[in-house]
Amino acid sequence: MSESETKTLAQADKAPDAVAFAEESGGKTTKKSGRVSAGIAWLSLLLVIALALGAAWVLREGQAREKAMQDRLALLEAAAGQKQTDLDALTDRWNQRLNTGLDGLKGALEQQVAKQSRDLQSVQTRLADQQQELARFSASDRESWLLAETGHLLRLANQRLVMAGDPVAAEALLNGADSVLRDLNDPGLHAVRAAVAADIAALRAVPEVDVEGIYLRLAALIEQADKLVIFQFREQAAAPGREAAGDWRSRLRQGYEAALSKLSDYIIIRRRDVPMQALMDPQWEGLVRQNLRMLLEQAQIALLSANQPLYAASLAQAQQWVMHFQDSDPVAAKAIETQIGKLAALTIQIPQPNISRSQQALDAAIEERAETGGEQ
């Protein structure tokens, strides 16, 4: 049994006592209890009314919120429908623009392709015209051009050999002319190729001059000539110290010996079996060396210009100037004189062959072709 039921039974047990007590208390207590019960009843009624009003208000608010939510949902659905409508309209517009642009681009491409086709056809037409124009030229015209080129190469070879004395360059030009004749492959030009081959063989037979090596040897001689000694005194040993003389005769003898020793410093006595040329004054040393240097440099210039007479004359004079150093610097002078003699014996000017036979043979072949063409 619960606690509330227990309290109810207890109150029921006490009820007779309470009733008896109430009867004994009198009428005042009865009146007071009735007023309390009426107040409680009214309070309960007010609470019920308040609860009913609260429930009605809550129900009304719920309905209002539900209606607001339904209205908002309807607005959202309407807005979504409008957005979809706008999107469909925008899509339709873009599709129309895209189709219009594609149509325009397609038309422009078609026009460009048509223009390029016309241009290509025009180029092909011009190429056909040019091919027809080139076809007009006969094989004889091409041969004439190649023969003219061959004649030009042969003339250059002759000029290079005569003007510059360069057989190597002349041979290269003749080889070029022979290459052109080989491309022609014409039996009628056999005599021309034979003449070109003969000229090439003549150029190859020309001895080669080592111009660079001779030039460097002359330069080395110039450097050695600057070191030649033309005048130099022999060093004398220092005289030992002498004691002071005691009398006037001893002092006179010492003075005489000192003067004789001083004089011997300026006079050199050499015993030779052959006559000796007098030594030159030291003040001419620079002049002699400069003249020797100038002669050797002149020989270098003659070498570069292939001037054999000037080359030989310059070295001959240089040998004469070297003889001035025979007494003062015999070893170096002898070595330089020997080298100058070897260089003077070299031939720097080589006679060049005549290579005009190929040009004459080509002229004869061209003239013969012209006569043959005129008879035809």
pLDDT value, residue 233: 42
Is 278 in a helix, a strand, or coil? Answer: coil
Q: Going along the chain, which residue ranges are E strands?
A: none
- How far is it, in rounded angstroms, from Cα 247 to Cα 69? 161
Per the document, the length of the chain is 376
Contacts of 360 (CB under 8 A, 6+ apart): 195
Nearest to 262 by CA among 272, 254, 271, 270: 254
**So what's the pLDDT on residue 216?**
92
As a 3-state breakdown, the chain gives helix, strand, coil percent values, each rounded to 5, of 80, 0, 20
- Give the closest residue to 221 by CA, choosing from 335, 95, 84: 335
Q: pLDDT value at position 175?
A: 93
Nearest-angstrom CA–CA distance, 275 and 268: 15
DSSP state of 306: T
The confidence score (pLDDT) of residue 243 equals: 57
pLDDT at 147: 85
Q: What is the pLDDT of residue 45?
A: 85
Three-state SS for 325?
helix
Q: What is the pLDDT along the chain (376 residues), one digit of tens a residue?
A: 444 444 444 444 444 444 444 444 445 555 566 677 888 888 888 888 888 888 888 888 888 888 888 888 888 888 888 888 888 888 888 888 888 888 888 888 888 888 888 888 888 888 887 777 666 555 557 788 888 888 899 999 988 888 877 788 888 999 999 999 898 888 888 899 999 999 999 888 887 778 888 899 999 998 888 887 765 444 444 445 555 556 666 766 776 677 666 555 545 444 444 444 444 555 566 787 888 889 999 999 988 888 888 999 999 999 888 887 777 788 888 888 899 989 988 888 777 788 888 888 888 888 887 777 544 4
Q: Residue 214 — left, alpha, or beta (φ > 0 → left; ψ -120 to 50 → alpha)? A: alpha
DSSP code at position 240? P
d(CA 190, CA 86): 94
